[in-house]
Amino acid sequence: MFAKPGIVSLALEGDADGFVLKSAPESELFAAIEAILAGDTYVQQTLVAPLFTYKSVFDGLTRQEQTVFKKLIERKSRSQITKELNIVERSLENYLSKIYQKTGCKNHEELIKKFGE
């Protein structure tokens, strides 16, 4: 799978029990399987630090900003986001401005590249 923290977070929030990169060594995959079979959650070690950084950035957003942020990571278009959240374009622009400011990103593409590609 992709190594970006936004994708890892979405997978874990979507009830995934673990996350391992396709390029991980076989031993990593076996460790993940063993942990999950034992009832634990498993995230490949190289993904843990970026995930914590992502979570601290994400937690700095308001609830509605978090919702918009997730939709951006899911690669939803602006029109899809306004329809799904039942908000007007101007409100979305305000949320985006605050999200970009808080994450240090300049635009949607940079946000995706940093957190969700």
Q: What residue segments make up the domains of the chain, in order of their start?
A: 1-59, 62-117
CA-derived radius of gyration, the chain: 16
pLDDT of residue 1: 46
Residue spans of beta strands (DSSP E) within 1-117:
18-19, 42-43
* Residue 103 neighbours by CB under 8 Å, 6+ apart: 57, 111, 114, 115
Going residue by residue through the chain (117 aa), what tens digit of pLDDT does each one get? 457 777 788 788 888 899 998 888 999 999 999 999 999 999 988 888 888 777 788 888 999 999 999 999 888 999 999 999 999 999 999 999 999 998 888 988 888 888 876
CATH architecture of 62-117: Orthogonal Bundle (1.10)
Tell me how far apart the alpha carbons of residues 81 and 68 are, in angstroms, rounded to a whole number: 7
pLDDT at 35: 93
